[in-house]
């Protein structure tokens, strides 16, 4: 299933929104297994308080707001892969929890223009260091926002719910 990329519009009369294409050929989308990805729900505490800020970044192609995520990495456990994605995509490091805080699904547009459904397991990372020198520097924007603002910015409904309801698990007691 191919989607139209901006600037790569099909000729007039042949243009179909992605969801219409999917509705007409569900076997192309749902006839195969879902892809597995690991995501990083990166957060930090605001100065001298218990309020948190969540990291959102833009995707490289469409520039929509997302969280750092990526495919499994050979030899790495899921929470480690999520931490690597956070470093490569946003230049942040921190303590990743081994147990996911939730998961969400979305449609991933592949490099060849095909679309595949993915399940993203989300791991919380309390950010302890931010660098300006990282692999995808200059390819994305990033912002630290409240969980409710993060939820407003992202497109995926399940991710919105995870963000708006996010409360860091265990660890330190803040006050």
The predicted-structure confidence for 48-101, as pLDDT tens digits, reads as follows 778 999 999 998 888 899 999 999 999 999 999 999 999 999 999 999 999 999
Element (H, E) at 142: strand 142-145
Phi-psi map region of 58: left, alpha, beta (phi>0 left; psi -120 to 50 alpha): beta
Averaged pLDDT for residues 100-129: 90
Residue 113 pLDDT exceeds 80? no
What is this structure's pTM? 0.78
**CA–CA separation, 114 and 2 (whole Å):** 4
The pLDDT, as a whole number, for residue 107 is 86
H helix intervals, the chain: 18-24, 26-30, 78-90, 147-153, 157-164
Say if domain 18-165 classifies as CATH 3.40.50.300: no
């Amino acid at each position: 299933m191919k989607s139209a990329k901006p600037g790569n519009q099909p000729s007039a009369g042949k243009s179909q929104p992605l969801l219409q294409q999917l509705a007409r050929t569900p076997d192309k989308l749902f006839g195969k297994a879902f892809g597995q990805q690991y995501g990083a729900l990166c957060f930090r505490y605001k100065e001298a308080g218990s309020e948190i800020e969540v990291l959102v970044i833009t995707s490289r192609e469409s520039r929509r707001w997302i969280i750092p995520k990526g495919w499994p990495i050979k030899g790495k456990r899921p929470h480690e892969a999520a931490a690597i994605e956070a470093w490569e995509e946003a230049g942040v490091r921190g303590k990743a929890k081994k147990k996911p805080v939730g998961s969400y699904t979305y449609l991933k547009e592949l490099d060849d223009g095909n679309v595949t459904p993915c399940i993203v397991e989300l791991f919380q990372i309390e950010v302890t260091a931010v660098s300006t020198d990282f692999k995808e520097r200059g390819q994305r924007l990033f912002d630290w926002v409240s969980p409710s603002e993060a939820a407003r910015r992202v497109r995926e409904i399940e991710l919105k719910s995870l963000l708006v309801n996010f409360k860091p698990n265990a660890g330190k007691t803040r006050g």
